[in-house]
Amino acid sequence: MTGGEEKKNIYRTIVKATGLFGGTQVFTILCSIIKTKLVAIWLGAEGVGIIGLYNNTVEMISSLTRLGIGTSSVRDLSKAFKSGDESRFAELVSVVRRWIWFTGLLGAVVMLTFAPLLSRYTFGDDTHIWGYVFLSCTLLFTTLTEGERAVIQASERLRVLARCSVLGSFFALLFSLPLFYFFGISGIVPAIIAHTFSIWVVTVSLGRKMKVKPVKMSWTETYRQGKNIASLGVYMTVSGFVTTLYSYLFVAWLNDRGGTGEVGFFQAGYTLVMQYVGLVFTAMSMEYYPRLSAVCEDKVLLSEHVTRQVETSLLILAPVISLFLIFQNLIIHILYTPAFLAISGYISWAVLGMLFRAFSWSVSFVLLAKGAGRIFLITEIVADSLMFVMYLVGYTHWGLQGVGVAYLLAYLFSMTGIYLVCHLKFGLHIPVRMFVSLFVYSSLCYFVWLLWSNDCLAGAYSLTAFICLFTGFQLKKKIFRKSE
Protein backbone atom coordinates (compact mmCIF):
# COMPACT_ATOMS: atom_id res chain seq x y z
CA MET A 1 0.00 0.00 0.00
CA THR A 2 1.40 3.39 -0.89
CA GLY A 3 1.79 6.20 1.58
CA GLY A 4 -0.98 8.21 -0.07
CA GLU A 5 -3.44 5.30 0.00
CA GLU A 6 -2.63 4.60 3.61
CA LYS A 7 -3.21 8.20 4.54
CA LYS A 8 -6.44 8.31 2.59
CA ASN A 9 -7.73 5.14 4.22
CA ILE A 10 -6.83 6.30 7.72
CA TYR A 11 -8.58 9.63 7.22
CA ARG A 12 -11.60 7.73 5.91
CA THR A 13 -11.52 5.34 8.86
CA ILE A 14 -11.50 8.23 11.31
CA VAL A 15 -14.34 10.04 9.55
CA LYS A 16 -16.44 6.86 9.16
CA ALA A 17 -16.10 6.03 12.84
CA THR A 18 -16.95 9.62 13.70
CA GLY A 19 -19.93 9.48 11.36
CA LEU A 20 -21.31 6.21 12.75
CA PHE A 21 -21.09 7.13 16.40
CA GLY A 22 -21.60 10.81 15.67
CA GLY A 23 -24.98 10.02 14.17
CA THR A 24 -25.73 7.90 17.20
CA GLN A 25 -24.72 10.72 19.47
CA VAL A 26 -26.90 13.21 17.58
CA PHE A 27 -29.92 11.11 18.49
CA THR A 28 -28.66 10.75 22.05
CA ILE A 29 -28.20 14.51 22.23
CA LEU A 30 -31.74 15.07 20.95
CA CYS A 31 -33.06 12.83 23.73
CA SER A 32 -30.87 14.71 26.19
CA ILE A 33 -32.13 18.05 24.85
CA ILE A 34 -35.73 17.02 25.37
CA LYS A 35 -35.06 15.74 28.88
CA THR A 36 -32.87 18.68 29.91
CA LYS A 37 -35.31 21.25 28.56
CA LEU A 38 -38.30 19.70 30.32
CA VAL A 39 -36.40 19.09 33.56
CA ALA A 40 -35.23 22.72 33.56
CA ILE A 41 -38.84 23.87 33.13
CA TRP A 42 -40.41 21.45 35.61
CA LEU A 43 -37.68 21.37 38.26
CA GLY A 44 -35.68 24.57 37.68
CA ALA A 45 -31.98 25.12 38.38
CA GLU A 46 -32.32 23.46 41.78
CA GLY A 47 -33.57 20.21 40.25
CA VAL A 48 -30.83 20.25 37.61
CA GLY A 49 -28.29 20.79 40.39
CA ILE A 50 -29.59 17.87 42.48
CA ILE A 51 -29.44 15.57 39.45
CA GLY A 52 -25.86 16.69 38.85
CA LEU A 53 -24.86 16.01 42.46
CA TYR A 54 -26.41 12.53 42.38
CA ASN A 55 -24.81 11.66 39.04
CA ASN A 56 -21.38 12.86 40.16
CA THR A 57 -21.57 10.68 43.26
CA VAL A 58 -22.67 7.60 41.32
CA GLU A 59 -19.95 8.09 38.73
CA MET A 60 -17.28 8.60 41.38
CA ILE A 61 -18.07 5.31 43.14
CA SER A 62 -18.61 3.45 39.87
CA SER A 63 -15.24 4.55 38.49
CA LEU A 64 -13.57 3.15 41.60
CA THR A 65 -15.37 -0.19 41.96
CA ARG A 66 -15.70 -1.41 38.36
CA LEU A 67 -11.90 -1.97 38.10
CA GLY A 68 -11.74 -1.00 34.44
CA ILE A 69 -13.09 -4.38 33.31
CA GLY A 70 -15.22 -2.83 30.57
CA THR A 71 -12.18 -1.13 29.05
CA SER A 72 -9.33 -3.55 29.68
CA SER A 73 -11.29 -6.64 28.60
CA VAL A 74 -11.77 -5.30 25.06
CA ARG A 75 -8.13 -6.01 24.19
CA ASP A 76 -8.25 -9.68 25.32
CA LEU A 77 -11.71 -10.32 23.90
CA SER A 78 -10.77 -8.76 20.58
CA LYS A 79 -7.60 -10.85 20.25
CA ALA A 80 -9.56 -14.06 20.89
CA PHE A 81 -12.32 -13.06 18.46
CA LYS A 82 -9.92 -12.14 15.64
CA SER A 83 -7.94 -15.37 16.11
CA GLY A 84 -11.08 -17.39 15.36
CA ASP A 85 -10.73 -19.37 18.57
CA GLU A 86 -14.39 -19.65 19.56
CA SER A 87 -13.64 -21.62 22.72
CA ARG A 88 -11.21 -19.00 24.00
CA PHE A 89 -13.60 -16.18 23.13
CA ALA A 90 -16.49 -17.92 24.91
CA GLU A 91 -14.26 -18.53 27.91
CA LEU A 92 -13.31 -14.85 28.15
CA VAL A 93 -16.92 -13.75 27.72
CA SER A 94 -17.86 -15.94 30.66
CA VAL A 95 -15.02 -14.50 32.75
CA VAL A 96 -15.96 -10.91 31.92
CA ARG A 97 -19.65 -11.42 32.65
CA ARG A 98 -18.93 -13.00 36.02
CA TRP A 99 -16.52 -10.23 36.97
CA ILE A 100 -18.87 -7.42 36.00
CA TRP A 101 -21.54 -8.93 38.23
CA PHE A 102 -19.05 -8.95 41.08
CA THR A 103 -17.85 -5.37 40.50
CA GLY A 104 -21.42 -4.12 39.97
CA LEU A 105 -22.56 -5.62 43.27
CA LEU A 106 -19.43 -4.26 44.95
CA GLY A 107 -20.34 -0.75 43.81
CA ALA A 108 -23.89 -1.14 45.09
CA VAL A 109 -22.68 -2.31 48.50
CA VAL A 110 -20.21 0.58 48.76
CA MET A 111 -22.93 3.15 48.05
CA LEU A 112 -25.30 1.50 50.53
CA THR A 113 -22.61 1.57 53.20
CA PHE A 114 -21.60 5.19 52.70
CA ALA A 115 -25.06 6.63 51.93
CA PRO A 116 -25.21 8.67 55.19
CA LEU A 117 -21.76 10.17 54.66
CA LEU A 118 -22.48 10.96 51.01
CA SER A 119 -25.70 12.76 51.93
CA ARG A 120 -24.07 14.81 54.67
CA TYR A 121 -21.02 15.83 52.66
CA THR A 122 -22.79 16.49 49.38
CA PHE A 123 -26.00 18.13 50.62
CA GLY A 124 -25.04 19.09 54.18
CA ASP A 125 -27.82 17.05 55.83
CA ASP A 126 -29.41 13.58 56.07
CA THR A 127 -32.37 14.23 53.78
CA HIS A 128 -30.82 12.40 50.81
CA ILE A 129 -29.67 9.20 52.54
CA TRP A 130 -32.52 7.14 51.11
CA GLY A 131 -31.89 8.67 47.70
CA TYR A 132 -28.38 7.24 47.72
CA VAL A 133 -29.66 3.92 49.10
CA PHE A 134 -32.06 3.47 46.19
CA LEU A 135 -29.49 4.71 43.66
CA SER A 136 -27.12 1.91 44.66
CA CYS A 137 -28.80 -0.36 42.10
CA THR A 138 -27.77 2.02 39.30
CA LEU A 139 -24.14 1.08 39.89
CA LEU A 140 -25.02 -2.54 39.15
CA PHE A 141 -26.96 -1.65 35.98
CA THR A 142 -24.22 0.69 34.72
CA THR A 143 -21.44 -1.85 35.30
CA LEU A 144 -23.38 -4.68 33.64
CA THR A 145 -24.05 -2.44 30.65
CA GLU A 146 -20.36 -1.59 30.32
CA GLY A 147 -19.40 -5.27 30.35
CA GLU A 148 -21.89 -6.19 27.63
CA ARG A 149 -20.72 -3.25 25.52
CA ALA A 150 -17.15 -4.55 25.80
CA VAL A 151 -18.22 -7.92 24.37
CA ILE A 152 -20.10 -6.22 21.52
CA GLN A 153 -17.18 -3.92 20.69
CA ALA A 154 -14.59 -6.72 20.80
CA SER A 155 -16.67 -8.82 18.40
CA GLU A 156 -16.59 -5.89 15.95
CA ARG A 157 -20.36 -5.34 15.99
CA LEU A 158 -20.09 -1.56 16.00
CA ARG A 159 -23.49 -1.09 14.37
CA VAL A 160 -25.08 -3.15 17.15
CA LEU A 161 -23.24 -0.94 19.62
CA ALA A 162 -24.69 2.11 17.91
CA ARG A 163 -28.21 0.65 18.03
CA CYS A 164 -27.79 -0.05 21.74
CA SER A 165 -27.06 3.62 22.31
CA VAL A 166 -29.98 4.83 20.19
CA LEU A 167 -32.62 2.49 21.63
CA GLY A 168 -31.22 2.82 25.14
CA SER A 169 -31.50 6.60 24.99
CA PHE A 170 -35.03 6.41 23.59
CA PHE A 171 -36.42 4.07 26.24
CA ALA A 172 -34.53 5.85 29.02
CA LEU A 173 -36.25 9.07 27.96
CA LEU A 174 -39.62 7.36 27.59
CA PHE A 175 -39.62 5.95 31.12
CA SER A 176 -37.91 8.80 33.00
CA LEU A 177 -39.90 11.83 31.77
CA PRO A 178 -43.24 10.83 33.35
CA LEU A 179 -41.48 10.47 36.71
CA PHE A 180 -40.10 14.01 36.48
CA TYR A 181 -43.48 15.38 35.41
CA PHE A 182 -45.70 13.71 38.00
CA PHE A 183 -43.34 13.68 41.00
CA GLY A 184 -41.09 16.70 40.43
CA ILE A 185 -37.93 16.69 42.55
CA SER A 186 -39.19 13.56 44.33
CA GLY A 187 -39.06 11.76 40.98
CA ILE A 188 -35.34 12.40 40.41
CA VAL A 189 -34.11 9.17 42.02
CA PRO A 190 -36.69 6.89 40.32
CA ALA A 191 -35.95 8.60 37.00
CA ILE A 192 -32.20 7.97 37.28
CA ILE A 193 -32.90 4.31 38.14
CA ALA A 194 -35.29 3.97 35.18
CA HIS A 195 -32.67 5.55 32.92
CA THR A 196 -29.86 3.10 33.78
CA PHE A 197 -32.18 0.08 33.88
CA SER A 198 -33.57 0.82 30.41
CA ILE A 199 -30.11 1.11 28.87
CA TRP A 200 -29.01 -2.16 30.49
CA VAL A 201 -32.06 -4.10 29.25
CA VAL A 202 -31.60 -2.83 25.68
CA THR A 203 -27.86 -3.60 25.68
CA VAL A 204 -28.34 -7.14 26.97
CA SER A 205 -31.24 -7.82 24.58
CA LEU A 206 -29.29 -6.76 21.48
CA GLY A 207 -25.85 -7.88 22.62
CA ARG A 208 -26.75 -11.47 23.42
CA LYS A 209 -28.28 -12.13 20.02
CA MET A 210 -24.84 -13.38 19.06
CA LYS A 211 -24.78 -16.83 20.59
CA VAL A 212 -21.74 -17.70 22.68
CA LYS A 213 -21.49 -21.34 23.70
CA PRO A 214 -21.66 -21.90 27.47
CA VAL A 215 -18.39 -22.66 29.21
CA LYS A 216 -17.87 -24.62 32.40
CA MET A 217 -15.29 -22.86 34.51
CA SER A 218 -14.39 -22.97 38.18
CA TRP A 219 -14.61 -19.83 40.26
CA THR A 220 -10.88 -20.14 40.92
CA GLU A 221 -10.15 -20.04 37.20
CA THR A 222 -12.61 -17.18 36.77
CA TYR A 223 -10.77 -15.24 39.44
CA ARG A 224 -7.35 -15.99 37.93
CA GLN A 225 -8.23 -14.90 34.41
CA GLY A 226 -10.32 -11.98 35.59
CA LYS A 227 -7.50 -10.78 37.80
CA ASN A 228 -5.21 -10.61 34.78
CA ILE A 229 -7.80 -8.61 32.84
CA ALA A 230 -8.53 -6.31 35.76
CA SER A 231 -4.85 -5.56 36.28
CA LEU A 232 -4.74 -3.93 32.83
CA GLY A 233 -7.49 -1.53 33.81
CA VAL A 234 -6.16 -0.54 37.22
CA TYR A 235 -4.22 2.48 36.00
CA MET A 236 -7.15 3.67 33.92
CA THR A 237 -9.51 3.02 36.82
CA VAL A 238 -7.42 5.04 39.26
CA SER A 239 -7.08 7.82 36.69
CA GLY A 240 -10.83 7.86 36.06
CA PHE A 241 -11.55 7.84 39.78
CA VAL A 242 -9.23 10.79 40.42
CA THR A 243 -10.93 12.74 37.62
CA THR A 244 -14.39 11.96 38.97
CA LEU A 245 -13.31 12.66 42.54
CA TYR A 246 -12.04 16.11 41.64
CA SER A 247 -15.28 16.77 39.76
CA TYR A 248 -17.28 15.66 42.79
CA LEU A 249 -15.19 17.77 45.18
CA PHE A 250 -15.55 20.86 43.01
CA VAL A 251 -19.31 20.45 42.61
CA ALA A 252 -19.69 19.92 46.37
CA TRP A 253 -17.51 23.00 47.03
CA LEU A 254 -19.51 25.00 44.50
CA ASN A 255 -22.76 23.90 46.15
CA ASP A 256 -21.49 25.17 49.50
CA ARG A 257 -20.09 28.38 48.00
CA GLY A 258 -22.74 29.35 45.48
CA GLY A 259 -25.77 27.16 46.20
CA THR A 260 -27.62 24.43 44.34
CA GLY A 261 -28.71 26.84 41.61
CA GLU A 262 -25.10 27.70 40.80
CA VAL A 263 -24.33 23.98 40.59
CA GLY A 264 -27.20 23.66 38.15
CA PHE A 265 -25.73 26.39 35.95
CA PHE A 266 -22.29 24.78 36.06
CA GLN A 267 -23.65 21.31 35.25
CA ALA A 268 -25.76 22.68 32.40
CA GLY A 269 -22.78 24.45 30.84
CA TYR A 270 -20.43 21.54 31.36
CA THR A 271 -22.86 19.08 29.80
CA LEU A 272 -23.44 21.42 26.86
CA VAL A 273 -19.73 21.72 26.12
CA MET A 274 -19.02 18.02 26.57
CA GLN A 275 -21.78 16.99 24.14
CA TYR A 276 -19.93 18.68 21.30
CA VAL A 277 -16.56 17.07 21.92
CA GLY A 278 -18.19 13.67 22.16
CA LEU A 279 -18.04 13.05 18.41
CA VAL A 280 -14.26 13.10 18.30
CA PHE A 281 -13.73 11.20 21.52
CA THR A 282 -16.24 8.50 20.61
CA ALA A 283 -14.31 7.92 17.38
CA MET A 284 -11.09 7.72 19.38
CA SER A 285 -12.41 5.17 21.84
CA MET A 286 -13.79 2.87 19.15
CA GLU A 287 -11.01 2.73 16.57
CA TYR A 288 -8.14 5.10 17.38
CA TYR A 289 -6.71 3.25 20.39
CA PRO A 290 -6.41 -0.23 18.78
CA ARG A 291 -5.09 1.34 15.56
CA LEU A 292 -2.44 3.22 17.50
CA SER A 293 -1.53 0.12 19.51
CA ALA A 294 -0.81 -1.79 16.29
CA VAL A 295 1.91 0.67 15.21
CA CYS A 296 3.23 1.77 18.60
CA GLU A 297 6.64 0.11 18.12
CA ASP A 298 7.38 2.15 14.99
CA LYS A 299 8.17 5.75 15.94
CA VAL A 300 7.56 7.09 12.44
CA LEU A 301 4.19 5.38 12.00
CA LEU A 302 3.18 6.27 15.55
CA SER A 303 3.88 9.95 14.90
CA GLU A 304 2.02 9.83 11.58
CA HIS A 305 -1.10 8.26 13.10
CA VAL A 306 -1.20 10.72 15.99
CA THR A 307 -0.67 13.62 13.60
CA ARG A 308 -3.56 12.50 11.38
CA GLN A 309 -5.84 12.05 14.38
CA VAL A 310 -4.99 15.54 15.65
CA GLU A 311 -5.44 17.04 12.19
CA THR A 312 -8.82 15.40 11.60
CA SER A 313 -10.00 16.38 15.08
CA LEU A 314 -9.12 20.04 14.44
CA LEU A 315 -10.86 20.03 11.06
CA ILE A 316 -14.03 18.62 12.62
CA LEU A 317 -14.03 20.73 15.77
CA ALA A 318 -13.17 24.17 14.34
CA PRO A 319 -16.48 24.66 12.46
CA VAL A 320 -18.46 23.08 15.31
CA ILE A 321 -16.95 25.53 17.81
CA SER A 322 -17.48 28.58 15.60
CA LEU A 323 -21.12 27.63 14.96
CA PHE A 324 -21.64 26.96 18.65
CA LEU A 325 -20.26 30.38 19.59
CA ILE A 326 -22.59 32.39 17.36
CA PHE A 327 -25.69 30.32 18.13
CA GLN A 328 -25.07 29.70 21.82
CA ASN A 329 -27.94 31.90 23.02
CA LEU A 330 -30.37 30.08 20.74
CA ILE A 331 -28.99 26.74 21.94
CA ILE A 332 -29.43 27.78 25.57
CA HIS A 333 -33.03 28.87 24.90
CA ILE A 334 -33.76 25.54 23.22
CA LEU A 335 -32.08 23.39 25.85
CA TYR A 336 -32.92 25.30 29.00
CA THR A 337 -34.72 28.50 29.98
CA PRO A 338 -33.72 32.20 29.66
CA ALA A 339 -32.39 32.06 33.23
CA PHE A 340 -29.57 29.81 31.98
CA LEU A 341 -28.15 32.60 29.79
CA ALA A 342 -25.97 33.24 32.84
CA ILE A 343 -23.70 30.42 31.62
CA SER A 344 -22.88 32.18 28.33
CA GLY A 345 -19.48 33.51 29.41
CA TYR A 346 -18.52 30.20 30.99
CA ILE A 347 -19.34 28.03 27.97
CA SER A 348 -17.75 30.50 25.52
CA TRP A 349 -14.33 30.17 27.13
CA ALA A 350 -14.73 26.45 27.78
CA VAL A 351 -15.72 25.62 24.21
CA LEU A 352 -12.62 27.44 22.95
CA GLY A 353 -10.58 25.03 25.05
CA MET A 354 -11.95 22.01 23.17
CA LEU A 355 -9.30 22.32 20.46
CA PHE A 356 -6.55 22.03 23.06
CA ARG A 357 -8.38 19.11 24.65
CA ALA A 358 -8.61 17.26 21.32
CA PHE A 359 -4.86 17.67 20.86
CA SER A 360 -4.13 16.56 24.43
CA TRP A 361 -6.36 13.47 24.25
CA SER A 362 -4.96 12.39 20.87
CA VAL A 363 -1.42 12.46 22.24
CA SER A 364 -2.30 10.87 25.60
CA PHE A 365 -3.37 7.64 23.85
CA VAL A 366 0.31 7.08 23.05
CA LEU A 367 0.90 6.28 26.72
CA LEU A 368 -1.84 3.63 26.70
CA ALA A 369 -0.73 2.16 23.37
CA LYS A 370 2.79 1.87 24.76
CA GLY A 371 1.50 0.29 27.96
CA ALA A 372 2.99 3.10 30.04
CA GLY A 373 0.21 2.95 32.60
CA ARG A 374 2.22 4.51 35.41
CA ILE A 375 3.24 7.53 33.32
CA PHE A 376 -0.34 7.85 32.08
CA LEU A 377 -1.63 7.87 35.65
CA ILE A 378 0.91 10.46 36.79
CA THR A 379 0.17 12.81 33.89
CA GLU A 380 -3.58 12.48 34.44
CA ILE A 381 -3.30 13.19 38.17
CA VAL A 382 -1.14 16.25 37.51
CA ALA A 383 -3.57 17.52 34.85
CA ASP A 384 -6.64 16.91 37.04
CA SER A 385 -5.01 18.56 40.05
CA LEU A 386 -4.10 21.58 37.96
CA MET A 387 -7.62 21.90 36.60
CA PHE A 388 -9.18 21.56 40.07
CA VAL A 389 -6.99 24.31 41.52
CA MET A 390 -7.61 26.56 38.52
CA TYR A 391 -11.36 25.96 38.84
CA LEU A 392 -11.26 27.09 42.47
CA VAL A 393 -9.20 30.19 41.67
CA GLY A 394 -11.25 31.01 38.58
CA TYR A 395 -14.61 30.81 40.33
CA THR A 396 -13.39 32.66 43.43
CA HIS A 397 -12.27 35.67 41.39
CA TRP A 398 -14.52 35.71 38.31
CA GLY A 399 -17.45 33.37 38.96
CA LEU A 400 -18.55 30.84 36.35
CA GLN A 401 -16.79 32.74 33.57
CA GLY A 402 -13.56 32.19 35.48
CA VAL A 403 -14.25 28.45 35.44
CA GLY A 404 -14.47 28.60 31.64
CA VAL A 405 -11.14 30.41 31.41
CA ALA A 406 -9.63 27.84 33.79
CA TYR A 407 -10.90 25.01 31.57
CA LEU A 408 -9.18 26.51 28.52
CA LEU A 409 -5.87 27.23 30.27
CA ALA A 410 -5.78 23.84 32.00
CA TYR A 411 -5.98 22.01 28.67
CA LEU A 412 -3.42 24.33 27.10
CA PHE A 413 -0.95 23.39 29.86
CA SER A 414 -2.02 19.74 29.73
CA MET A 415 -1.48 19.59 25.97
CA THR A 416 2.00 21.04 26.32
CA GLY A 417 2.97 18.73 29.16
CA ILE A 418 1.69 15.49 27.63
CA TYR A 419 3.37 16.20 24.30
CA LEU A 420 6.72 16.92 25.98
CA VAL A 421 6.47 13.65 27.94
CA CYS A 422 5.67 11.58 24.83
CA HIS A 423 8.30 13.38 22.75
CA LEU A 424 11.10 12.87 25.28
CA LYS A 425 10.07 9.35 26.38
CA PHE A 426 8.92 7.73 23.13
CA GLY A 427 10.27 9.96 20.37
CA LEU A 428 6.83 11.16 19.30
CA HIS A 429 7.11 13.93 16.74
CA ILE A 430 4.22 16.08 15.57
CA PRO A 431 5.09 18.50 12.74
CA VAL A 432 5.26 22.21 13.50
CA ARG A 433 2.47 22.76 10.98
CA MET A 434 0.05 21.03 13.38
CA PHE A 435 0.86 23.49 16.14
CA VAL A 436 0.48 26.32 13.64
CA SER A 437 -2.90 24.91 12.58
CA LEU A 438 -3.97 24.69 16.22
CA PHE A 439 -2.98 28.32 16.78
CA VAL A 440 -4.73 29.49 13.60
CA TYR A 441 -7.99 27.60 14.25
CA SER A 442 -8.15 28.63 17.91
CA SER A 443 -7.45 32.26 16.94
CA LEU A 444 -10.15 32.21 14.26
CA CYS A 445 -12.69 30.77 16.70
CA TYR A 446 -11.72 33.39 19.27
CA PHE A 447 -12.25 36.18 16.72
CA VAL A 448 -15.67 34.72 15.90
CA TRP A 449 -16.61 35.03 19.55
CA LEU A 450 -15.06 38.52 19.79
CA LEU A 451 -17.07 39.74 16.81
CA TRP A 452 -20.26 38.12 18.05
CA SER A 453 -19.93 39.44 21.61
CA ASN A 454 -19.41 42.97 20.25
CA ASP A 455 -22.57 42.72 18.12
CA CYS A 456 -20.63 42.62 14.85
CA LEU A 457 -22.89 39.85 13.59
CA ALA A 458 -22.06 40.20 9.89
CA GLY A 459 -18.38 39.74 10.62
CA ALA A 460 -19.02 36.78 12.93
CA TYR A 461 -21.27 35.03 10.39
CA SER A 462 -18.82 35.67 7.53
CA LEU A 463 -15.83 34.35 9.45
CA THR A 464 -17.81 31.29 10.56
CA ALA A 465 -18.83 30.58 6.95
CA PHE A 466 -15.18 30.82 5.91
CA ILE A 467 -14.10 28.39 8.65
CA CYS A 468 -16.81 25.89 7.68
CA LEU A 469 -16.02 26.04 3.96
CA PHE A 470 -12.26 25.89 4.42
CA THR A 471 -12.24 22.98 6.87
CA GLY A 472 -14.86 21.12 4.82
CA PHE A 473 -12.74 21.48 1.69
CA GLN A 474 -9.59 20.36 3.50
CA LEU A 475 -11.32 17.33 5.00
CA LYS A 476 -12.81 16.29 1.67
CA LYS A 477 -9.43 16.66 -0.04
CA LYS A 478 -7.74 14.41 2.53
CA ILE A 479 -10.45 11.75 2.44
CA PHE A 480 -10.48 11.44 -1.34
CA ARG A 481 -6.82 12.20 -2.01
CA LYS A 482 -5.30 9.83 -4.56
CA SER A 483 -2.13 7.89 -3.82
CA GLU A 484 0.99 9.95 -4.03
Q: What is the pTM of this model?
A: 0.76
Could you read off the pLDDT of 322-332 as tens digits, one per residue?
Answer: 999 999 999 88
Could you read off the pLDDT of 391-448 as tens digits, one per residue?
Answer: 999 999 999 999 999 999 999 999 999 999 999 999 999 999 999 999 999 999 999 9
The stretch 326-355 carries a mean pLDDT of 91
Q: What percentage of the chain has pLDDT greater than the value 70?
A: 95
The stretch 445-471 carries a mean pLDDT of 95
Could you read off the pLDDT of 274-322 as tens digits, one per residue?
Answer: 766 666 777 667 777 767 776 778 899 999 999 999 999 999 999 999 9
Residue 8 pLDDT: 44
CA–CA separation, 125 vs 123, rounded Å?
6
Residue 483 has pLDDT above 60, yes or no: no
Give Cα separations from 416 to 340, 357, 361, 423, 446 (angstroms).
33, 11, 11, 11, 20
Crossing angle of helices 260-283 and 344-352, rounded to 10°: 30
Task: Look at 20-29, 106-115, 136-145 and tell me which has the smallest mean pLDDT.
Answer: 20-29
Residue 363 has pLDDT above 60, yes or no: yes
The stretch 10-39 carries a mean pLDDT of 82
Residue 452 pLDDT: 95
Spans of all domains in the chain: 44-237, 259-484
Q: How confident is the model at residue 75 (pLDDT cuts 50, 70, 90)?
A: confident
Is-contact 68 233, C-beta < 8 A? yes
Q: How confident is the model at residue 154 (pLDDT cuts 50, 70, 90)?
A: confident
